[in-house]
Amino acid sequence: MNAASGGVRSWPVYIMIVLTTINFLNYIDQRLLSAVLESIKAEWTLSDAQGGLLGSVFVIVYTLCAPVGFLGDRMKRKNLIAGGVLLWSLATVAAAFARNYQDLLIARALLGVGEACYATIAPSIIADLYSKDLRSRKLAYFYLATPVGSALGYILGGYIGEFYGWRAVFLVGGLPGLLFALLAFLMVEPERGRNDDQAPTSGPALSLMATLRRLIRTPAWRINTIGLALLTFTIGGLALWMPSYLERVHGMSSGQAGTIFGGVTVIAGICGTLLGGRLGDRMQARSPGGFFRLSGIGLLASSPFIVLMTQIGWLPGIFIVVFLAEMLLFLNTGPLNAALIGCVPVQMRGAAFAVNVLCIHAFGDALSNVLLGVLSDAATPILGSPAAGLSLALAATAIPVAVGGVVLLRGARWIARQPDGLMHYPG
Protein backbone atom coordinates (compact mmCIF):
# COMPACT_ATOMS: atom_id res chain seq x y z
CA MET A 1 0.00 0.00 0.00
CA ASN A 2 1.48 3.40 -0.95
CA ALA A 3 1.58 6.59 1.06
CA ALA A 4 -1.29 8.17 -0.82
CA SER A 5 -3.70 5.39 0.06
CA GLY A 6 -2.81 5.41 3.72
CA GLY A 7 -1.87 9.03 4.36
CA VAL A 8 0.40 9.86 7.26
CA ARG A 9 -0.34 6.50 8.87
CA SER A 10 1.57 4.72 6.06
CA TRP A 11 4.63 7.00 6.07
CA PRO A 12 7.85 5.19 7.11
CA VAL A 13 8.73 7.94 9.57
CA TYR A 14 5.32 7.66 11.28
CA ILE A 15 5.50 3.87 11.52
CA MET A 16 9.12 4.03 12.73
CA ILE A 17 8.23 6.57 15.46
CA VAL A 18 5.25 4.53 16.68
CA LEU A 19 7.16 1.23 16.73
CA THR A 20 10.25 2.74 18.35
CA THR A 21 8.21 4.51 21.04
CA ILE A 22 6.38 1.27 21.80
CA ASN A 23 9.75 -0.47 22.11
CA PHE A 24 10.78 2.31 24.43
CA LEU A 25 7.72 1.64 26.65
CA ASN A 26 8.42 -2.09 26.37
CA TYR A 27 11.78 -1.74 28.11
CA ILE A 28 10.51 0.74 30.67
CA ASP A 29 7.91 -1.80 31.78
CA GLN A 30 10.47 -4.61 31.82
CA ARG A 31 12.97 -2.72 34.02
CA LEU A 32 10.55 -1.29 36.57
CA LEU A 33 10.85 -4.52 38.53
CA SER A 34 14.64 -4.20 38.79
CA ALA A 35 14.34 -0.71 40.28
CA VAL A 36 12.05 -1.82 43.11
CA LEU A 37 13.06 -5.46 43.56
CA GLU A 38 14.71 -4.87 46.94
CA SER A 39 11.54 -3.14 48.22
CA ILE A 40 9.29 -6.00 47.05
CA LYS A 41 11.62 -8.57 48.61
CA ALA A 42 11.56 -6.68 51.89
CA GLU A 43 7.75 -6.35 52.00
CA TRP A 44 7.12 -10.03 51.38
CA THR A 45 10.38 -11.41 52.90
CA LEU A 46 11.59 -13.04 49.68
CA SER A 47 14.92 -14.75 48.96
CA ASP A 48 17.13 -13.80 46.01
CA ALA A 49 15.91 -16.91 44.21
CA GLN A 50 12.27 -15.82 44.64
CA GLY A 51 13.16 -12.32 43.51
CA GLY A 52 14.92 -13.73 40.47
CA LEU A 53 11.85 -15.79 39.63
CA LEU A 54 9.84 -12.57 39.25
CA GLY A 55 12.21 -11.68 36.45
CA SER A 56 12.36 -15.19 35.01
CA VAL A 57 8.60 -15.85 34.92
CA PHE A 58 8.20 -12.92 32.53
CA VAL A 59 10.94 -14.28 30.28
CA ILE A 60 9.68 -17.88 30.44
CA VAL A 61 6.15 -16.93 29.37
CA TYR A 62 7.54 -14.49 26.80
CA THR A 63 9.62 -17.34 25.39
CA LEU A 64 6.71 -19.79 25.29
CA CYS A 65 4.58 -17.23 23.46
CA ALA A 66 7.29 -16.30 20.95
CA PRO A 67 5.82 -18.63 18.26
CA VAL A 68 3.15 -15.97 17.76
CA GLY A 69 5.72 -14.64 15.29
CA PHE A 70 4.55 -17.37 12.92
CA LEU A 71 1.21 -15.58 12.80
CA GLY A 72 3.04 -12.44 11.76
CA ASP A 73 3.84 -14.15 8.45
CA ARG A 74 0.19 -14.99 7.88
CA MET A 75 -2.01 -12.12 9.17
CA LYS A 76 -2.06 -8.37 9.81
CA ARG A 77 1.01 -7.63 11.85
CA LYS A 78 -0.28 -4.34 13.24
CA ASN A 79 -3.26 -6.08 14.87
CA LEU A 80 -1.00 -8.51 16.72
CA ILE A 81 1.20 -5.63 17.84
CA ALA A 82 -1.73 -3.51 19.05
CA GLY A 83 -3.24 -6.41 20.99
CA GLY A 84 0.10 -7.22 22.58
CA VAL A 85 0.73 -3.63 23.69
CA LEU A 86 -2.76 -3.40 25.20
CA LEU A 87 -2.30 -6.65 27.14
CA TRP A 88 1.13 -5.85 28.56
CA SER A 89 0.05 -2.34 29.58
CA LEU A 90 -2.94 -3.73 31.48
CA ALA A 91 -0.70 -6.37 33.08
CA THR A 92 1.72 -3.68 34.30
CA VAL A 93 -1.16 -1.72 35.84
CA ALA A 94 -2.45 -4.94 37.44
CA ALA A 95 0.95 -5.46 39.13
CA ALA A 96 0.27 -2.30 41.16
CA PHE A 97 -2.68 -4.05 42.80
CA ALA A 98 -0.96 -7.37 43.58
CA ARG A 99 -2.09 -8.68 46.96
CA ASN A 100 0.77 -11.14 47.33
CA TYR A 101 3.79 -12.71 45.63
CA GLN A 102 1.62 -15.06 43.56
CA ASP A 103 -0.47 -12.17 42.16
CA LEU A 104 2.70 -10.38 41.07
CA LEU A 105 3.98 -13.54 39.39
CA ILE A 106 0.74 -13.74 37.37
CA ALA A 107 1.01 -10.08 36.33
CA ARG A 108 4.60 -10.60 35.21
CA ALA A 109 3.53 -13.68 33.24
CA LEU A 110 0.84 -11.68 31.39
CA LEU A 111 3.45 -9.02 30.65
CA GLY A 112 5.41 -11.75 28.85
CA VAL A 113 2.40 -12.74 26.71
CA GLY A 114 1.85 -9.16 25.56
CA GLU A 115 5.45 -8.35 24.81
CA ALA A 116 5.93 -11.54 22.78
CA CYS A 117 3.24 -10.30 20.38
CA TYR A 118 5.33 -7.20 19.74
CA ALA A 119 9.00 -8.08 19.86
CA THR A 120 8.82 -10.97 17.38
CA ILE A 121 6.89 -9.02 14.75
CA ALA A 122 7.91 -5.35 14.77
CA PRO A 123 11.40 -5.89 13.23
CA SER A 124 9.85 -7.50 10.13
CA ILE A 125 7.81 -4.32 9.52
CA ILE A 126 10.94 -2.18 9.80
CA ALA A 127 12.70 -4.49 7.33
CA ASP A 128 9.91 -3.74 4.84
CA LEU A 129 10.28 0.02 5.32
CA TYR A 130 13.96 0.32 4.31
CA SER A 131 16.44 -1.08 1.80
CA LYS A 132 19.00 -3.71 2.79
CA ASP A 133 21.89 -1.23 2.92
CA LEU A 134 20.08 0.83 5.59
CA ARG A 135 18.62 -1.91 7.78
CA SER A 136 21.40 -2.29 10.33
CA ARG A 137 21.33 1.48 10.93
CA LYS A 138 17.52 1.71 11.12
CA LEU A 139 17.29 -1.31 13.40
CA ALA A 140 19.93 0.31 15.58
CA TYR A 141 17.64 3.37 15.91
CA PHE A 142 14.74 1.05 16.76
CA TYR A 143 16.79 -0.77 19.38
CA LEU A 144 17.99 2.49 20.94
CA ALA A 145 14.81 2.02 22.88
CA THR A 146 16.54 -0.82 24.73
CA PRO A 147 19.06 1.34 26.66
CA VAL A 148 16.90 4.47 26.77
CA GLY A 149 13.76 2.66 27.91
CA SER A 150 15.76 0.54 30.34
CA ALA A 151 17.41 3.64 31.80
CA LEU A 152 14.10 5.41 32.30
CA GLY A 153 12.68 2.27 33.86
CA TYR A 154 15.51 2.29 36.40
CA ILE A 155 15.34 6.05 37.02
CA LEU A 156 11.57 6.47 37.19
CA GLY A 157 11.13 3.20 39.04
CA GLY A 158 13.83 4.08 41.55
CA TYR A 159 12.56 7.55 42.43
CA ILE A 160 8.84 6.85 42.24
CA GLY A 161 9.41 3.75 44.34
CA GLU A 162 11.49 5.63 46.89
CA PHE A 163 8.89 8.38 47.44
CA TYR A 164 5.55 6.72 46.61
CA GLY A 165 6.16 2.99 46.99
CA TRP A 166 6.69 0.20 44.51
CA ARG A 167 3.00 -0.11 43.58
CA ALA A 168 2.91 3.42 42.19
CA VAL A 169 5.81 2.48 39.90
CA PHE A 170 3.77 -0.11 38.01
CA LEU A 171 0.68 2.11 37.84
CA VAL A 172 2.57 4.98 36.22
CA GLY A 173 4.50 2.64 33.93
CA GLY A 174 1.49 0.88 32.45
CA LEU A 175 -0.77 3.77 31.44
CA PRO A 176 1.08 5.23 28.36
CA GLY A 177 0.91 1.91 26.51
CA LEU A 178 -2.88 2.17 26.26
CA LEU A 179 -2.54 5.16 23.88
CA PHE A 180 0.14 3.54 21.77
CA ALA A 181 -1.87 0.37 21.37
CA LEU A 182 -4.41 2.55 19.52
CA LEU A 183 -1.72 4.25 17.40
CA ALA A 184 -0.34 0.85 16.41
CA PHE A 185 -3.79 -0.33 15.37
CA LEU A 186 -4.18 2.75 13.14
CA MET A 187 -0.89 2.15 11.27
CA VAL A 188 -0.95 1.11 7.61
CA GLU A 189 1.77 -1.53 7.42
CA PRO A 190 4.03 -1.79 4.34
CA GLU A 191 3.88 -4.53 1.71
CA ARG A 192 5.96 -7.54 2.72
CA GLY A 193 9.34 -7.72 1.02
CA ARG A 194 8.91 -4.51 -0.96
CA ASN A 195 12.60 -3.56 -0.52
CA ASP A 196 14.04 -7.01 -1.22
CA ASP A 197 15.21 -8.74 -4.36
CA GLN A 198 12.78 -11.58 -3.56
CA ALA A 199 9.12 -11.20 -4.33
CA PRO A 200 7.02 -11.20 -1.16
CA THR A 201 5.10 -14.19 -2.39
CA SER A 202 8.07 -16.17 -3.66
CA GLY A 203 7.44 -19.78 -2.76
CA PRO A 204 4.53 -21.32 -0.89
CA ALA A 205 4.07 -20.82 2.83
CA LEU A 206 5.85 -23.60 4.69
CA SER A 207 4.30 -25.70 7.42
CA LEU A 208 5.45 -25.25 11.01
CA MET A 209 7.73 -28.30 10.95
CA ALA A 210 9.11 -27.46 7.51
CA THR A 211 9.86 -23.93 8.70
CA LEU A 212 11.68 -25.22 11.78
CA ARG A 213 13.78 -27.60 9.68
CA ARG A 214 14.62 -24.78 7.30
CA LEU A 215 15.75 -22.49 10.10
CA ILE A 216 17.79 -25.13 11.93
CA ARG A 217 19.60 -26.03 8.71
CA THR A 218 20.48 -22.37 7.99
CA PRO A 219 24.05 -21.89 9.35
CA ALA A 220 23.84 -18.10 9.80
CA TRP A 221 20.58 -18.43 11.74
CA ARG A 222 22.19 -21.00 14.09
CA ILE A 223 25.30 -18.86 14.64
CA ASN A 224 23.16 -15.79 15.28
CA THR A 225 20.89 -17.59 17.74
CA ILE A 226 23.73 -19.08 19.79
CA GLY A 227 25.53 -15.73 19.99
CA LEU A 228 22.36 -13.85 20.94
CA ALA A 229 21.39 -16.43 23.59
CA LEU A 230 24.75 -16.05 25.34
CA LEU A 231 24.54 -12.25 25.07
CA THR A 232 20.98 -12.29 26.43
CA PHE A 233 22.02 -14.42 29.41
CA THR A 234 24.47 -11.75 30.49
CA ILE A 235 22.41 -8.66 29.65
CA GLY A 236 19.34 -10.08 31.37
CA GLY A 237 21.26 -10.93 34.53
CA LEU A 238 22.92 -7.51 34.73
CA ALA A 239 19.66 -5.70 33.98
CA LEU A 240 17.78 -7.37 36.84
CA TRP A 241 20.49 -7.47 39.52
CA MET A 242 22.73 -4.40 39.06
CA PRO A 243 20.43 -1.98 40.96
CA SER A 244 20.27 -4.51 43.83
CA TYR A 245 24.08 -4.81 43.67
CA LEU A 246 24.51 -1.04 44.04
CA GLU A 247 22.07 -0.93 46.95
CA ARG A 248 23.48 -3.98 48.71
CA VAL A 249 27.22 -3.54 48.09
CA HIS A 250 27.58 0.26 47.94
CA GLY A 251 24.75 1.35 50.22
CA MET A 252 22.77 3.38 47.68
CA SER A 253 19.06 4.12 47.94
CA SER A 254 16.77 2.75 45.23
CA GLY A 255 16.52 6.22 43.72
CA GLN A 256 20.29 6.67 43.62
CA ALA A 257 20.93 3.19 42.23
CA GLY A 258 18.26 3.55 39.56
CA THR A 259 19.39 7.02 38.50
CA ILE A 260 23.10 6.28 38.32
CA PHE A 261 22.83 2.86 36.70
CA GLY A 262 20.10 4.14 34.39
CA GLY A 263 22.22 7.13 33.38
CA VAL A 264 25.23 4.96 32.60
CA THR A 265 23.03 2.50 30.71
CA VAL A 266 21.42 5.12 28.48
CA ILE A 267 24.72 6.78 27.53
CA ALA A 268 26.49 3.47 26.95
CA GLY A 269 23.50 2.06 25.10
CA ILE A 270 23.14 5.01 22.74
CA CYS A 271 26.87 5.09 21.99
CA GLY A 272 27.13 1.34 21.50
CA THR A 273 23.92 0.91 19.49
CA LEU A 274 24.59 3.81 17.09
CA LEU A 275 28.23 2.84 16.66
CA GLY A 276 27.29 -0.78 16.06
CA GLY A 277 24.66 0.16 13.48
CA ARG A 278 27.11 2.22 11.42
CA LEU A 279 30.07 -0.11 11.76
CA GLY A 280 27.86 -3.13 11.08
CA ASP A 281 26.69 -1.79 7.70
CA ARG A 282 30.28 -0.93 6.72
CA MET A 283 31.80 -4.24 7.78
CA GLN A 284 29.00 -6.22 6.15
CA ALA A 285 29.54 -4.31 2.89
CA ARG A 286 33.16 -5.51 2.91
CA SER A 287 32.47 -9.12 3.93
CA PRO A 288 29.41 -11.39 4.25
CA GLY A 289 30.56 -12.19 7.79
CA GLY A 290 30.89 -8.53 8.82
CA PHE A 291 27.88 -8.46 11.17
CA PHE A 292 29.16 -11.49 13.07
CA ARG A 293 32.77 -10.26 13.16
CA LEU A 294 31.83 -6.95 14.76
CA SER A 295 29.55 -8.64 17.29
CA GLY A 296 32.15 -11.23 18.21
CA ILE A 297 34.72 -8.53 18.91
CA GLY A 298 32.19 -6.65 21.05
CA LEU A 299 31.26 -9.65 23.18
CA LEU A 300 34.85 -10.78 23.78
CA ALA A 301 35.98 -7.27 24.69
CA SER A 302 33.13 -6.80 27.20
CA SER A 303 34.00 -9.89 29.25
CA PRO A 304 36.96 -8.56 31.32
CA PHE A 305 35.11 -5.33 32.10
CA ILE A 306 32.18 -7.30 33.59
CA VAL A 307 34.54 -9.06 36.00
CA LEU A 308 36.37 -5.84 36.81
CA MET A 309 33.19 -3.94 37.77
CA THR A 310 32.65 -6.30 40.75
CA GLN A 311 36.23 -5.86 42.00
CA ILE A 312 36.50 -2.07 42.16
CA GLY A 313 35.53 -0.24 45.34
CA TRP A 314 35.88 3.31 43.96
CA LEU A 315 32.42 4.31 42.68
CA PRO A 316 33.51 6.54 39.74
CA GLY A 317 35.75 3.70 38.56
CA ILE A 318 32.86 1.24 38.76
CA PHE A 319 30.70 3.36 36.51
CA ILE A 320 33.47 3.90 33.97
CA VAL A 321 33.91 0.13 33.75
CA VAL A 322 30.13 -0.48 33.60
CA PHE A 323 29.91 2.08 30.79
CA LEU A 324 32.59 0.28 28.76
CA ALA A 325 31.04 -3.15 29.37
CA GLU A 326 27.52 -2.03 28.38
CA MET A 327 28.71 -0.07 25.34
CA LEU A 328 30.46 -3.17 24.01
CA LEU A 329 27.36 -5.31 24.69
CA PHE A 330 24.98 -2.88 22.97
CA LEU A 331 27.34 -2.68 20.00
CA ASN A 332 25.79 -5.93 18.79
CA THR A 333 22.12 -4.93 18.71
CA GLY A 334 21.80 -3.61 15.16
CA PRO A 335 24.23 -6.01 13.43
CA LEU A 336 22.83 -9.22 14.91
CA ASN A 337 19.21 -8.28 14.19
CA ALA A 338 20.12 -7.23 10.65
CA ALA A 339 21.90 -10.57 10.19
CA LEU A 340 18.79 -12.39 11.40
CA ILE A 341 16.65 -10.61 8.82
CA GLY A 342 19.20 -11.17 6.08
CA CYS A 343 19.67 -14.92 6.46
CA VAL A 344 16.14 -16.16 5.61
CA PRO A 345 13.60 -15.63 2.81
CA VAL A 346 11.11 -12.76 3.10
CA GLN A 347 8.15 -15.01 3.87
CA MET A 348 9.97 -16.58 6.84
CA ARG A 349 11.07 -13.47 8.74
CA GLY A 350 8.33 -13.63 11.35
CA ALA A 351 9.09 -17.28 11.99
CA ALA A 352 12.85 -16.61 12.11
CA PHE A 353 12.38 -13.98 14.81
CA ALA A 354 9.83 -16.09 16.69
CA VAL A 355 12.05 -19.16 17.00
CA ASN A 356 15.12 -17.00 17.60
CA VAL A 357 13.37 -15.18 20.45
CA LEU A 358 12.19 -18.49 21.90
CA CYS A 359 15.72 -19.89 21.90
CA ILE A 360 17.64 -16.84 23.11
CA HIS A 361 15.35 -16.22 26.05
CA ALA A 362 14.88 -19.88 26.99
CA PHE A 363 18.66 -20.27 27.21
CA GLY A 364 19.37 -16.63 28.10
CA ASP A 365 17.67 -14.39 30.64
CA ALA A 366 14.98 -16.95 31.58
CA LEU A 367 17.89 -18.84 33.12
CA SER A 368 20.14 -16.00 34.24
CA ASN A 369 17.58 -14.04 36.27
CA VAL A 370 16.83 -16.93 38.60
CA LEU A 371 20.24 -18.70 38.38
CA LEU A 372 22.06 -15.58 39.55
CA GLY A 373 19.67 -15.41 42.50
CA VAL A 374 20.30 -19.08 43.29
CA LEU A 375 24.08 -18.60 42.96
CA SER A 376 23.94 -15.53 45.18
CA ASP A 377 21.96 -17.41 47.86
CA ALA A 378 24.36 -20.38 47.68
CA ALA A 379 27.51 -18.24 47.84
CA THR A 380 26.33 -16.00 50.68
CA PRO A 381 27.04 -18.40 53.59
CA ILE A 382 30.39 -19.36 52.03
CA LEU A 383 31.58 -15.80 51.37
CA GLY A 384 30.04 -14.35 54.52
CA SER A 385 27.57 -11.77 53.21
CA PRO A 386 24.73 -11.24 50.68
CA ALA A 387 26.83 -8.51 49.08
CA ALA A 388 29.72 -10.88 48.35
CA GLY A 389 27.34 -13.56 47.09
CA LEU A 390 25.73 -11.20 44.59
CA SER A 391 29.13 -9.87 43.47
CA LEU A 392 30.26 -13.39 42.59
CA ALA A 393 27.04 -14.09 40.71
CA LEU A 394 27.42 -10.95 38.59
CA ALA A 395 31.10 -11.63 37.83
CA ALA A 396 30.11 -15.06 36.49
CA THR A 397 28.09 -13.42 33.69
CA ALA A 398 31.39 -12.65 31.92
CA ILE A 399 31.73 -16.30 30.90
CA PRO A 400 28.73 -16.55 28.50
CA VAL A 401 29.66 -13.44 26.52
CA ALA A 402 33.25 -14.63 26.15
CA VAL A 403 32.00 -17.93 24.72
CA GLY A 404 29.52 -16.06 22.50
CA GLY A 405 32.29 -13.88 21.12
CA VAL A 406 34.29 -16.94 20.08
CA VAL A 407 31.23 -18.51 18.42
CA LEU A 408 30.47 -15.36 16.41
CA LEU A 409 34.07 -14.83 15.27
CA ARG A 410 34.37 -18.42 14.09
CA GLY A 411 30.97 -18.06 12.40
CA ALA A 412 32.09 -14.87 10.66
CA ARG A 413 35.07 -16.64 9.08
CA TRP A 414 32.89 -19.52 7.89
CA ILE A 415 30.15 -17.28 6.44
CA ALA A 416 32.75 -15.16 4.63
CA ARG A 417 33.82 -18.25 2.65
CA GLN A 418 30.30 -19.03 1.38
CA PRO A 419 29.35 -17.66 -2.07
CA ASP A 420 25.85 -16.71 -0.87
CA GLY A 421 27.01 -15.40 2.52
CA LEU A 422 24.30 -15.06 5.17
CA MET A 423 21.74 -16.66 2.85
CA HIS A 424 23.77 -19.86 2.52
CA TYR A 425 21.49 -22.84 2.86
CA PRO A 426 22.74 -26.36 2.15
CA GLY A 427 19.24 -27.57 1.24
CATH number at residue 130: 1.20.1250.20
pLDDT band for position 357 (cuts 50, 70, 90) = confident
Task: Provide the mean pLDDT of the chain.
Answer: 86
What total number of domains does the chain contain?
1
> Which range, of 31-45, 85-99, 130-144, 166-180, averages the lowest pLDDT?
130-144
Quickly state the pLDDT bin for 1 (edges 50, 70, 90).
Answer: very low
Whether the predicted pLDDT of 393 surpasses 90: yes
Q: In the predicted model, what is the mean pLDDT of residues 218-245?
A: 92
Q: Is the pLDDT of residue 217 over 50?
A: yes
Please compute the mean of the pLDDT values over residues 305-318 and round it to a whole number: 90
| DSSP string for 110-140 | HHHHHHHHHHTTHHHHHHHHS-GGGHHHHHH
Region 349-373: mean pLDDT is: 85
**pLDDT score, position 375:** 95
> Is pLDDT above 60 for 266?
yes
- Predicted local distance difference test score (pLDDT) of residue 125: 86
Answer whether residue 233 is part of any domain.
Answer: yes
Within a domain: 56:
yes
Distance CA(188)–CA(119), nearest Å, equals: 18
DSSP one-letter string for 31-47:
HHHHHHHHHHHHHHT--
Reported as a single tens digit per residue, the pLDDT across 56-90 is 898 888 888 877 766 766 778 888 899 999 999 99
What's the rounded Cα separation, in Å, for the pair 231 and 216?
Answer: 20
Please classify residue 381 by burial: count the beta carbons closer than 10 Å to its beta carbon, then call 0-12 exposed, 13-18 middle and 19+ buried.
Answer: exposed
Q: Mean per-residue pLDDT for 176-201? A: 76
Tell me if 202 is assigned to some domain.
Answer: no
Span 96-150, pLDDT tens digits: 999 999 999 999 999 988 888 887 788 878 878 877 767 667 777 887 777 888 8
In a domain, residue 194? The reply is no
Has residue 200 got a pLDDT over 50?
no
- pLDDT tier for residue 31 given thresholds of 50, 70 and 90: confident
- 201 belongs to a structural domain: no
Residue 197 within a domain: no
Backbone phi, psi, residue 202, to 5°: -65, 115
pLDDT value for 189: 83
For the CA atoms of 288, 292, 296, 299, the dihedral, rounded to the nearest 10 degrees, stands at: 150
Q: What is the mean pLDDT of residues 204-231?
A: 85
199 belongs to a structural domain:
no
Examine residue 193 and state whether it is found in any structural domain, yes or no.
Answer: no
- Taking the C-alpha atoms of residue 93 and residue 358, their distance in angstroms, rounded to an integer, is 26
Q: Compute the average pLDDT of residues 6-27.
A: 82
Domain membership of residue 101 as a residue range: 3-187+208-423
Q: What is the pLDDT of residues 275-293, one digit of tens each?
A: 988 898 889 888 889 999 9
Q: Under a CB-based contact definition with an 8 Å cutoff, are residues 231 and 146 in contact?
A: no
What is the reported pLDDT for 391?
94
pLDDT for residue 162: 87
Q: Which residue has the higher pLDDT, 138 or 163?
A: 163
pLDDT above 80: residue 238: yes
- CA 183, 184, 190, 196 torsion: positive or negative? positive
Q: Give the C-alpha separation, 51 to 39, whole Å.
A: 10
